[in-house]
Amino acid sequence: MLWKQQWPDANPLCHPLLLGSSLSDSLPFPIGKEDGTGDRGDGSLHSDHHGPYFPLKEITEQQKEGIRMVKRVMISLEGEDGLDEIYSFSESLRQLCVFKKIEKSSMAWPCQLTIGSNLSIRIVAYKSIQQGKAKKAWTVVDARSLRKEDIQKETVYCLNDDDETEVPKEDTIQGFRYGSDIIPFSKVDEEQMKYKSEGKCFSVLGFCRSSQVHRKYYMGNQVLKVFAAKDDEAAAVALSSLIHALDELDMVAIVRYAYSKNSNPQVGMAFPYIKDTYECLVYVQLPFMEDLRQYMFSSLKNNKKCTPTEAQLSAVDALIDSMSLVKKDEEEGMVEDLFPTTKIPDPQFQRLFQCLLHRALHPQEPLPPIQQHILNMLDPPTEVTAKCQIPLSKIKTLFPLTEAIKKKDQVTAQDIFQDTHEEGPTSKKLKTEERGAHFSLSSLAEGSVTKVGSVNPAENFRVLVRQKTTSFEEASHQLINHIEQFLDTNETLYFMKSMDCIKAFREEAIQFSEEQRFNGFLKALAEKVESKQLNHFWEIVIQDGITLITKDEASGSSVTAEEAKTFLAPKGNPSEDTAAAFEEGGDVDDLLDLI
């Protein structure tokens, strides 16, 4: 009876909640705040910068009393969790501005957690975190009828000949490009090549200290939470013992994970995760050897120009501290996440469906600009922006930016009338200085070089010919092999890498009087480019002006400047006789054979 008497009295107090006129951002309210200020306890779409902006007003004492009444009602009916069900009118608008995916319950993955050959625990795993991708189910339709059935797609395979002879699909086969060769693989080979596992697997390979698994090694697009199988008390006790033992010893389990017999196995770590209401193992994938990338960089400590002062170091430290996205309350021991990424919708997903909705409702209108609340999602918190202003001003003061003006080289009479055939001490000194400057940089970056590699072939080539550990002929052969492989990919990225190799070859050929070797290579390259119809690559060569070494550049060359200029001149279409010769089996010989 007491509840029935109080309920009507609460109606006028709750009326502002229903209207939302002055409680635009005061509800839902977190536990412990009686003044009605604050946002949702779960941090969804914080009104300070993550959601669309609505005007805020101060709430009256009567409205605060209404908030307290609703809070008592919700706790009485649903307990503490019932507070998550309260929405103010403005927050409802904020939620309606966000597109949401169809929520699907996580599918259980039952398996056996095995430790050695004698211990087995029944487990079930769920995907706790998975990378979300917007499924763009685009399909090709007729532009007039907008019907998919009116479009028919047909794929035809043809030979690369003048007649474009059609080849039946059953006469084609998959090929794997390995360097400059293509290795054929049939369907049978593909099936036999696949990794065959024994089935689903979650076996512990061993244990290690948690400090040995660095955060940078975490990879994969999902995180699994592993629990004991339902209604299996023995499994629950065994898994709980394992979890607490790992937690007490500060260790993790290194695990071999395979989703099914048709999936490739992974190696990962399982670490303990203990909360008040549950406990489990959390699995994260770790990299294999091929997944790691090793980079060598020269130390900045060796460069006195880049050595920071103590004031500069302190200023950068202060900037990093001021931009922390975690707020700690020392008195209460609470940690607040100022930028909860788990509560921020994916801007790409929001923009996609904003455009789809607009196009469905307004087919003839242009797409609208990005909504402001989408842009605001990734803005830094206002509190962080305010705190970092002072450190940023110190950074600007201690790290001044000055315009770098390139000094014009002063041209002297000696530079204009220099003797190119001079072999005196001055000429040798210049060559030695140029060679030494480039060599020291290469040796710092490369270390010990024994052959021309595919990662940095130009620098490897320079180091080899200057250390004289390999003959110029052998080093040039290795470099040419890589140039051929890069050209066979027929990709612009590798074309630019080939250009670096050719430039390095030309520079070193002049230094070591190997101009004949380079000129022979470049002539053979021009023929190969023409036969393989790599005209776009040759255009890059022409733009960069990479031509034959003339006798003005090296005394051992017989090429004149006019001949070098003619070499780069665009050539006309090959004659019919030349085309016929190639069709009859004439492929350009290997570049190495022509040198």
- Rounded to the nearest angstrom, the gap between the alpha carbon of residue 307 and the centroid of all alpha carbons in its chain is 30
- Rounded to the nearest angstrom, the gap between the alpha carbon of residue 491 and the centroid of all alpha carbons in its chain is 20
Both tokens of 525, joined, read 């390259």
Is the bond preceding residue 363 a cis peptide, omega within 30 degrees? no
How distant, in Å, are the alpha carbons of 109, 223, 234 from that of 122?
11, 19, 9
Question: How would DSSP label each residue in 147-182?
Answer: -GGG------EE-SSTT--EE-GGG--EEEEETTEE
Task: Answer whether 150's CB lies under 8 Å from 139's CB.
Answer: no
**325 vs 31, which has greater pLDDT?**
325
* Highest-confidence segment of 12-16, 138-142, 199-203, 445-449: 199-203
pLDDT at residue 529 in the model? 84
Alpha helices in 83-222 (DSSP H): 89-96, 187-193
C-alpha to C-alpha distance for 265 and 257, rounded to whole angstroms: 6
Both tokens of 276, joined, read 């008040």
* Highest-confidence segment of 40-44, 102-106, 347-351, 536-540: 347-351
Q: Helix or strand or coil: residue 76?
A: helix
Token look-up 């059609």 returns 166
Query: Is residue 158 left, alpha or beta, with left meaning phi > 0 and alpha meaning psi from -120 to 50?
Result: beta
What pLDDT band is residue 27 in, cutting at 50, 70 and 90? very low
User: Which tens digit of pLDDT belongs to each residue from 106-130?
Assistant: 789 999 999 998 999 999 999 998 8
Choice among 146-150, 335-339, 376-380, 532-536 with the minimum mean pLDDT: 532-536
Choice among 274-288, 387-401, 446-460, 527-541 with the minimum mean pLDDT: 446-460
Mean pLDDT of 371-378: 83
Is residue 475 pLDDT above 80, yes or no? yes
Is residue 89 pLDDT above 70, yes or no? no
Count CB atoms within 10 A of the CB of residue 116: 8
What pLDDT band is residue 533 in, cutting at 50, 70 and 90? confident
C-alpha torsion angle, residues 326, 393, 377, 92 (rounded to 10):
80
Choice among 128-132, 301-305, 424-428 with the minimum mean pLDDT: 424-428
C-alpha to C-alpha distance for 384 and 325, rounded to whole angstroms: 7
449 burial class (0-12, 13-18, 19+ CB within 10 angstroms)?
buried
C-alpha to C-alpha distance for 112 and 118, rounded to whole angstroms: 12
pLDDT at residue 25 in the model? 40
Helix axes 515-531, 472-489, angle to 10 degrees: 20
pLDDT at residue 419 in the model? 53
Mean pLDDT, the chain, integer: 77
**124 vs 144, which has greater pLDDT?**
124
| Half-sphere exposure at residue 187, Cβ-oriented, CA atoms within 13 angstroms | 3
